């Protein structure tokens, strides 16, 4: 980040990450500090500074796409949980998140849907117990 332009992209990413992923996103960034600090920067710059900051698609649609893809792939449960919480942050309801997980039974099988639903259950329970 040698100058103003890089800073712009980085700063836009920091703002998007905070708005979308909240504390969970910040924790991911911090967990990279001692193993791959450059990758923490890339996470901020490319997914958040570039992709999520594009105005061509609303954040509701972006988060639905993300939780659908992560539930279908089925090999990234920590990231799925972060984005289930992010989905709530951008205004998607719990009932809608549950629907997206259920729909994944059609495209990735019932185990993928079940594991997505159990991830949602854990996130909702954590949020409820924090109140």
28 binding its own copies? (CB under 8 A)? yes
Query: Which residue number, 22 or 77, has a Cβ lying nearer to its own copies?
Result: 77
Query: Which residue number, 26 or 39, has a Cβ lying nearer to its own copies?
Result: 39
101 binding its own copies? (CB under 8 A)? yes
90 binding its own copies? (CB under 8 A)? no
* Candidate residues 30, 39, 53, 126; the one interacting with its own copies per rule CB under 8 A: 39
Nearest-CA neighbor of 73 among 61, 85, 60, 83? 83
What are the phi and psi torsion angles at 95 (to 5°)?
-60, -35
Nearest-CA neighbor of 49 among 4, 94, 14, 85? 14
Q: How far apart are CA 14 and CA 83, in angstroms?
A: 16
Instruction: Specify burial of residue 56 (Cβ count, 10 A radius: 0-12, 13-18, 19+).
Output: exposed
Task: Give the residues lining the site for its own copies (CB under 8 A).
Answer: 2-6, 8-9, 28, 31-32, 34-36, 38-39, 42-43, 46-47, 50-52, 54, 56-57, 60-62, 64-76, 78-79, 95-96, 98-115, 117-118, 120-121, 124
């Amino acid at each position: 980040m040698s100058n103003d332009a890089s800073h712009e992209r980085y700063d836009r990413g920091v703002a998007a990450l905070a708005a979308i992923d909240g504390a969970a996103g910040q924790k991911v960034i911090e967990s990279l500090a001692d193993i791959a600090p450059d990758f923490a920067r890339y996470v901020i710059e490319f997914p958040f500074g570039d992709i999520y900051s594009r105005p061509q698609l609303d954040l509701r649609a972006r988060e639905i796409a993300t939780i659908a893809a992560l539930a279908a792939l089925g090999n990234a449960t920590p990231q799925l949980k972060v984005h289930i919480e992010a989905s709530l942050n951008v205004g998607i309801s719990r009932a809608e998140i549950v629907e997206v997980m259920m729909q994944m039974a059609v495209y990735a099988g019932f185990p993928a849907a079940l594991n997505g639903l159990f991830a949602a259950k854990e996130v909702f329970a954590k949020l409820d117990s924090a109140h």
